[in-house]
């Protein structure tokens, strides 16, 4: 029996509780969009049972699970469905191996480092039709799919904390997207923390592992988890809070590491991890938030990422942005955007991705706001693909409001 099969036994009690009520099936975005997927009940608890009884070895349909976590939220028996599907994916990949494309897509950090080092060339090449045709033919990445741009001046180069020796201190888990594609998000986060008198440090870190888990590369994700746990605990043990601006990274640090690492250290770390908006909301509840925010008379549509909802913390981005005077934010209420991390970059999944994104695109169109806001870089990618509105991260809006307030004070 391989490592992954052994680990499935960790969740024996969880899957035995399944009532077959189908609540998870009703909540699964992929089940509603294609008949090629077996659905969470079958791909989770039932597949686990079949594998245990050696009636099946694995099931190819597991490739369609995006690990969005919507099924977990709906289950009345607290079955760890997406954990079961994570392991079923790992079993499938161990048996059949990864394609070159899935290997590349699961290595967001390596790709980010290389693409960022040659950013002008990378970004131009990704727009060239012959290049995209080759990518479609060789790697099965559809030529219609937009890619996020890479920045030469990534966050490793632009990190600039200006507060030192504060009582509250933050160890920032940046994530690959804010590090290599959107350093402006990471820079805004540091500014927001500094406006609140909070020192920010950037610990050594590797990709959180979510793209690896989504592509069945469990062993690689585990190595990254072990590295990140040790690195971040060095800070939490000195009194730092761990904060991230990426909802997928947040879900990994808070929840996924508990299952793929499972150590006491993973539990210790999870207790200190916050999403950036969640952290600001906590500061507000404690009366510690700097509320000198300049008015921004804007109408904005908010898209809630699945991995934000999977953290079960409400909508902290809306709670915080609503503090800006004149700011009108509306929840698009659109469910899954359909990009689903690496899922939407795959040719055989592209049609499903577009189908899933339709509701969100219609909501954006109907609201006709000034722009859209979301925390997730991949949701932004899908919004960029399907809508013509600018897409911003909550930290960019808050940093702008704080900066304007400061300017007003000095005038």
Q: Interface with ligand SF4 includes 66 (CB under 6 A)?
A: yes
CA proximity to 201, closest of 239, 255, 256, 154? 239
CA proximity to 168, closest of 250, 242, 251? 242
Closest CB to ligand SF4 among 71 and 233?
71
Cα 26 from Cα 340, distance rounded (Å): 18
Pairing of strands 240-244, 273-275: parallel
Question: Binding residue for ligand SF4 (CB under 6 A) from 47, 67, 90, 395?
Answer: 67
Q: Interface with ligand SF4 includes 346 (CB under 6 A)?
A: no
Q: What is the CA radius of gyration of the chain?
A: 21
In whole angstroms, how close is the CB of 174 to ligand SF4 at the nearest point?
Answer: 25
Q: Interface with ligand SF4 includes 83 (CB under 6 A)?
A: no
Q: Interface with ligand SF4 includes 356 (CB under 6 A)?
A: no
Cα 192 from Cα 181, distance rounded (Å): 20
Q: Which of residues 39-58 bind ligand SF4 (CB under 6 A)?
A: 40-41, 43-45
In whole angstroms, how close is the CB of 45 to ligand SF4 at the nearest point?
Answer: 5
In whole angstroms, how close is the CB of 330 to ligand SF4 at the nearest point?
Answer: 25
Q: Interface with ligand SF4 includes 74 (CB under 6 A)?
A: yes
Closest CB to ligand SF4 among 33 and 135?
33
The piece of 70-78, 265-273, 313-321, 396-404 that touches ligand SF4 (CB under 6 A) is 70-78
Q: Interface with ligand SF4 includes 34 (CB under 6 A)?
A: no
Task: Provide the terminal-to-terminal Cα distance of the chain, rounded to the nearest Å.
Answer: 70
DSSP H or E stretch at residue 327: strand 327-331
Strands (E), 125-187: 169-173
The three-point CA angle 103-106-308 to 5° equals: 160
Question: Binding residue for ligand SF4 (CB under 6 A) from 49, 50, 59, 77?
Answer: 77
Question: Binding residue for ligand SF4 (CB under 6 A) from 63, 70, 254, 401?
Answer: 70
In whole angstroms, how close is the CB of 10 to ligand SF4 at the nearest point?
Answer: 16
Residue in the structure block whose two tokens are 């902290």: 316
Q: Interface with ligand SF4 includes 213 (CB under 6 A)?
A: no
Q: Interface with ligand SF4 includes 186 (CB under 6 A)?
A: no
In whole angstroms, how close is the CB of 78 to ligand SF4 at the nearest point?
Answer: 8
Cα-based torsion angle of the residue sequence 80, 86, 87, 88 in order, rounded to the nearest 10 degrees: 100
Closest CB to ligand SF4 among 74 and 98?
74
Q: Interface with ligand SF4 includes 19 (CB under 6 A)?
A: yes
- Secondary structure tally for the chain: helices H, strands E: 25, 8
Q: How far is CA 122 from CA 80, 333, 356, in A?
A: 40, 35, 29
DSSP H or E stretch at residue 284: helix 276-285
Question: Binding residue for ligand SF4 (CB under 6 A) from 65, 115, 232, 304?
Answer: 65
CA proximity to 168, closest of 248, 293, 286, 268? 286
Q: Which of residues 90-129 bind ligand SF4 (CB under 6 A)?
A: none
Task: Give the residues lining the site for ligand SF4 (CB under 6 A).
Answer: 18-24, 28, 30, 40-41, 43-45, 65-71, 74-75, 77, 79, 81-82, 85
């Amino acid at each position: 029996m391989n490592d992954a099969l052994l680990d499935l036994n960790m969740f024996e009690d969880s899957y035995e509780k399944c009532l077959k009520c189908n609540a998870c099936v009703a909540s699964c975005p992929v089940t509603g969009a294609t008949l090629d997927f077996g659905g969470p009940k079958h791909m989770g608890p039932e597949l686990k049972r079949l594998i245990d009884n050696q009636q099946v070895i694995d099931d190819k349909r597991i490739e369609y699970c995006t690990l969005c976590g919507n099924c977990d939220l709906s289950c009345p028996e607290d079955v760890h469905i997406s954990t079961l599907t994570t392991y079923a994916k790992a079993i499938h990949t161990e048996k059949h191996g990864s394609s070159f494309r899935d290997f590349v897509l699961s290595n967001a950090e390596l790709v980010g480092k290389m693409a960022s080092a040659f950013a002008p060339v990378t970004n131009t090449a990704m727009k060239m039709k012959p290049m995209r045709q080759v990518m479609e033919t060789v790697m099965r990445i559809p030529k219609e799919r937009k890619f996020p741009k890479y920045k030469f001046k990534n966050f490793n180069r632009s990190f600039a904390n200006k507060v030192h020796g504060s009582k509250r201190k933050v160890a920032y888990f940046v994530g690959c997207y804010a590090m290599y594609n959107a350093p402006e998000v990471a820079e805004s986060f540091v500014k927001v923390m500094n406006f609140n008198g909070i020192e920010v440090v950037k610990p050594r870190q590797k990709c959180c592992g979510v793209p690896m888990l989504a592509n069945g590369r469990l062993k690689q994700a585990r190595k990254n988890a072990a590295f990140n746990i040790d690195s971040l605990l060095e800070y939490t043990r000195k009194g730092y809070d761990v904060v991230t601006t990426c909802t997928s990274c947040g879900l990994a640090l808070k929840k996924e590491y508990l299952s793929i690492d499972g150590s006491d250290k993973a539990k210790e770390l999870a207790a200190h991890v916050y999403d950036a908006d969640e952290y600001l909301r906590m500061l507000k509840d404690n009366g510690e938030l700097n509320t000198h925010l300049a008015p921004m008379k804007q109408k904005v549509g908010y898209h809630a990422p699945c991995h934000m909802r999977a953290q079960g913390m409400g909508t902290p981005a809306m709670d915080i942005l609503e503090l800006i005077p004149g700011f009108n934010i509306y929840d698009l209420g659109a469910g899954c955007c359909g990009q689903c991390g690496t899922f939407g970059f795959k040719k055989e999944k592209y049609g499903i991705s577009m189908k899933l994104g339709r509701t969100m695109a219609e909501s954006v169109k109907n609201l006709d706001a000034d722009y859209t806001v979301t925390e997730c870089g991949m949701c932004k990618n899908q919004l960029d693909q399907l809508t013509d509105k600018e897409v911003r991260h909550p930290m960019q809006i808050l940093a702008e409001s704080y900066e304007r307030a400061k300017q007003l004070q000095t005038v």
